[in-house]
Structure 1
Amino acid sequence: MSPPGNDSTVAGDGCLCEDGGDGRKRCQQCERNSKKGSLTSSSSSYALLSFDSFPVEDYDKRWRIFTASVKGFAIGAGIKGGLSLFAILARLRRRRSLSSAKKVQMASGGQDLILALKETLRYGLFLGTFAGTFVSVDELIAALGGHRRTARWRALLAGAIAGPSLLLTGFNTQHTSLAVYILMRAAVLASRCGIKSKRFGRICKPLTWAHGDLFLMCLASTQILCAYILKQDSLPPSYKSFLNKHGGKDPIILQGIRDIACGMPFTNLDQIQKYYKSTGVDVILDPQMKVPCSIIHENQSCSGHAFSFFLQAYKRAVPVYLPVYLIPALIVHRQGLTKKPFTILAKGLFGTARSSLFLSTYCTSAWVWTCFLFRVFKRCNVTMLALGTFPTGLGLAIEKKSRRIEISLYCLARAIESFFTTMSEIGYIPHFPNLKRVDVLIFSISTAIIMHCYAIERDVFRSKYLNVLDWVFGVPLPPYDTTPRKKNETRGEF
């Protein structure tokens, strides 16, 4: 600070600085010292960062790319690895209850572990490559074309370019279900943008229905549950296995229901009777029956079957939702676990119990509604199955409101895939043999829309998803902000 009334100040090296006419005190000596100091500061920064040939800003961009790749890998490997671990434990538990002959047919625990490790690595590489590619392309386009000039379309292109990283999960493995689900998520985000728009607001207004998620779930249930009974080949193998487990009925029983629903003569009544006899129940089935209730629940009444089935379904549902709640809690609430672990774990256990109640109620109501309609109309056909499976989706009301749209979109994606697969096999939809990886194309279009909304229309995301995306990709600059990123703004925590 200069003394009052004095037009000069003494520099640190003893030089005398005069007023340069612009309010600043300067002399040649000070300018040389200033340049020397900046060079020294820059040199020390370069030495610290080990990027001698790049400016500090480029280091920040490289750090953002590196952290996005690592965090993406961690999320992909963590989620897939956690699910694989629970699947291995479930197989080991089931293996103990099997006979020696069936144990030989099952894969060994070592083979399951190797397969799980491969799948974990693939999904880690997939999400890590996706995140790294998106951030790399985003930063490259911004550097070459300018942040402001490319803001409106840069994330759209980067998301599309990052989409083919899906191939890393397996070049010969189709992921149509995943791609269609991501497309549904992109459609939801696009619809939210449309609701905000003056031009498309009226068109998108029906999407604001309070219980639209339940309606979507009912539609999806009609296709999925009818396919589960009538045409399981139209469903993805993993989802078909999921339905066979939680549907709680042996394929022999489903074949008997399929025969009567399609108006065909019974082909396996003897096998059904033998199956029930092996469980300790003697049942005699009438070849002239009009409703398949005796096939579905042998000598039990419809209400008695509903009660016993619900208890069994709940036991099957709990192991499904434990990883769904506990693994994200370890990732999203990793900091809160050290401060209030019991609160977070209690919420996870409550969510597991609630979602298990939904799944068990959903599966039970499918058989309750179909049995009810069969008894009322005294017939069983495809129409009765479709009508009976539609209200099954109302079981979604048990779930937390914020999860309803997630589940309904997940099921709708599989229903759409099943529907188009069936239509294609019938011949109503043309087949394009040269287009082998439609899933990659759909996934790339979807990720382009999602990442565009993430960069430009951030308010259409729910906060918890936005927090995860920000943690992985780094908070994007506003479209018309040209302030360079600082290292502490892009690094986040890992």
Structure 2
Amino acid sequence: MEGNVRSEDSITEEVVEEVIRIDQHERDKKNVIVPLLLNKMVHSKDIGQNSLVSGPVLVNGRMIQSRSAAALAKLTNGIEKISMFETIGGPPKDDCSISGQDDGRNSWRAIERCVAASVKGFVIGAGLRGGLSLFGILTRLRRKSSVSKSPVKIGKTNNQALLAALRETLRYGLFLGTFAGGFCTVEETIAALGGSRRTARWRSLVAGAIVGPSLLLTGHKVRHTSMAIYILLRAAVLAARCGLKSERVGWLCKPLSWKHGDTFLMCLSSCQILTAWILKPSSLPKSYVSFLNKHGGKDASIIKGINQLAFNTKPFTALKGIEEHYRSSGLDIKLNPEMSIPCTMIHGTQGCTPHFFSFLVQAYLRSLPVYVPVYLVPALLVHRQGLFARPSPILWKSVLGIVRSSLFLSVYTSSAWAWTCFLFRSTGICKPPLIATATVRILCFCIFMFPVGLAVMIEKKSRRMELALYCFARAIESFAICVTEWGVLERYNLTPPKRIDVFLFSAATAIIMHCYAQERDVFRSKYLNVLDWVFGLPDGATKYTSHLNPPSASPDAEISLPKAKALLEVTSGSY
């Protein structure tokens, strides 16, 4: 063995110096971006066994992470020159240039970033809300044209609806535009006053919290509690991913990485949502109740009858409406006012098991129109080029998604009624002598709705958590309303904030924007690309001067990653 064994760092530095010399001779000494620290730029540990680059990489003005060297080279349209950066946050302002005299350009860059973020945020907000409003107006026009006969009345109503839609579109555009532009403005201001590196760990957290109240621009009378809870849950997921990476609290977050956690969360959500739908529908948003009523497949009189039976509300005023409903369907039945099991109320003279399978078929047909646009519209918008080149795989994937998601929703609703029948038959829960208090009835109802959430396992893994978080947000809001109406807060002299949605939204955006700036690897690439496009690259991400430039290297050189990788492999094999 040779006596002088050189370290991997010294080998890397020599390789980088050689690459720089080669590039300097091949190019006409053009001024380009200065690369970062050499040992961070093309260190052998940054190039894994699968040729993956672990550090962030700037490719044609876009920050790319954890991509292969070959993929990064393709992204540059044949130019295999990639500048790599140590951190997303970038260096302090006085380290962003070689001469130290580009403060004016940094200020102009910050202004451009803030203005661009405001415009993009406004376009996204106005586009999303405007699209929904347009769909609502078209639906209203179709409904009115088939029902109403008065053209004057229709014109007046439609004009009011159009003005309301324009107002809502403008409000949501201002909301997202103010949020995006305000975040960039606060972040750039803090970086300018306190230094980019000194404030890098906390300025995004503060900026996200400060711009949270921009939610008020959607209207002072409008409450967005469901949306705020959902975004807070998304922030909690990001925080949990950060915790799993931590050596200190990783053990505490370990249970959150359970592979069936999404299914468990869906089951918990089903306990509250389905129970509230039957026993306390006022705790759910009206649009959500309408969705459940449609896909629940039962007449409103049946839902009311189960509610009265569960609470033992006599006389059962809903029985007459249920009988009329079945009579209109060609089934003449007479319900017993002293019934304790609502099976006859739910499915008439049909047995519980046959009703499950017949309802499953009907529910599947109701579910198909829901998921056809969910899968086909993104396929047309996102994969429109691939549809002309390779239409079969994309269409087959969309069809498979429609079939699977429709099966999930149909099994979910069918099993809800099946478990309801099983609940009453197995426990006789509606018999007053057996269950004396409404609290116990509600608790038992919740427990028996838990298995309904298992239907989410039909969905593919990537969609389960999305569905679980959406439903869990609805469940939390419903449970909070129930607790408030029960007087629990008054009992302990607790008063919630008047705008709890703004408070929750501010907390959520603070966490999300902090993770965006400091823990970017906890985001999925599709979300990260959207955030990068809206908010722009953080301060200093487009320029970074190395403090450890080798004496023989020119500061105007840019590292060619494939060449450096090849030389690293050859050099490491020779020692």
Note the residue ranges of structure 2 that are not aligned, 5 or more in a row: 1-102, 431-440, 547-575
**Equivalents in 1 of 2:211, 2:387: separation in Å?**
33
Q: Does 1:276 align with 2:338?
A: no
* Contact 2:267 2:450 survives alignment (8 Å): yes
DSSP 3-state at the match of 1:429: helix
1:423 corresponds to: 483
Correspondence 1:319-330 to 2 at 5 A: 319-325=369-375
DSSP 3-state at the match of 1:55: helix
Amino acid at match of 2:223: Q
Amino acid at match of 1:394: L
Q: Does 1:474 align with 2:474?
A: no
**Equivalents in 1 of 2:123, 2:359: separation in Å?**
39
**Equivalents in 1 of 2:261, 2:226: separation in Å?**
22
Q: 2:464 aligns with which of 384, 387, 404?
A: 404
Q: 1:363 aligns with which of 392, 413, 430?
A: 413
1:188 corresponds to: 237
TM-score (norm. length: structure 1): 0.77
1:179 corresponds to: 228
**Equivalents in 1 of 2:217, 2:324: separation in Å?**
46
Note the residue ranges of structure 1 that are not aligned, 5 or more in a row: 1-53, 485-494
Deviation at 1:236, TM superposition (A): 2.4
**Equivalents in 2 of 1:434, 1:192: separation in Å?**
29
**Equivalents in 2 of 1:445, 1:408: separation in Å?**
21
1:64 corresponds to: 113
Deviation at 1:93, TM superposition (A): 6.2
Deviation at 1:388, TM superposition (A): 2.7
Deviation at 1:137, TM superposition (A): 1.3
CA distance 1:85–1:324, change in 2 (3 Å): farther
Correspondence 1:23-62 to 2 at 5 A: 55-62=104-111
Amino acid at match of 2:349: N
* Contact 1:82 1:323 survives alignment (8 Å): no
Amino acid at match of 2:507: I
Q: Does 1:243 align with 2:292?
A: yes
Deviation at 1:373, TM superposition (A): 3.0
* Contact 1:151 1:480 survives alignment (8 Å): no
2:518 corresponds to: 456
* Contact 1:366 1:388 survives alignment (8 Å): no
* Contact 2:188 2:539 survives alignment (8 Å): no
Q: Does 1:219 align with 2:273?
A: no
DSSP 3-state at the match of 2:538: coil
2:65 corresponds to: none
2:506 corresponds to: 444
1:43 corresponds to: none
2:250 corresponds to: 201
Correspondence 1:253-332 to 2 at 5 A: 253-265=302-314, 266-325=316-375
CA distance 1:170–1:336, change in 2 (3 Å): farther
Amino acid at match of 1:418: S
Amino acid at match of 2:311: C
Q: Does 1:394 align with 2:454?
A: yes
Correspondence 1:83-162 to 2 at 5 A: 83-88=132-137, 111-162=160-211
1:51 corresponds to: none
Range moving further from structure 2, 298-307 or 82-91: 82-91
**Equivalents in 2 of 1:74, 1:336: separation in Å?**
26
* Contact 2:205 2:514 survives alignment (8 Å): yes
Identity of aligned residues (%): 60
Deviation at 1:346, TM superposition (A): 5.2
CA distance 1:425–1:363, change in 2 (3 Å): same
* Contact 2:489 2:495 survives alignment (8 Å): no
**Equivalents in 1 of 2:252, 2:385: separation in Å?**
42
* Contact 1:160 1:447 survives alignment (8 Å): yes
Equivalences, count = 429
Deviation at 1:181, TM superposition (A): 0.8
TM-score (norm. length: structure 2): 0.67
| Cα-Cα RMSD | 3.3
CA distance 1:89–1:423, change in 2 (3 Å): same
Amino acid at match of 2:363: A
**Equivalents in 1 of 2:402, 2:538: separation in Å?**
34
Please list the CA deviations of residues 169-226 of structure 1 after superposition, one character each: whole Å capped at 9, or x if unmatched.
2211111111111111111111111111111111111001010100011011001110
**Equivalents in 1 of 2:136, 2:363: separation in Å?**
17
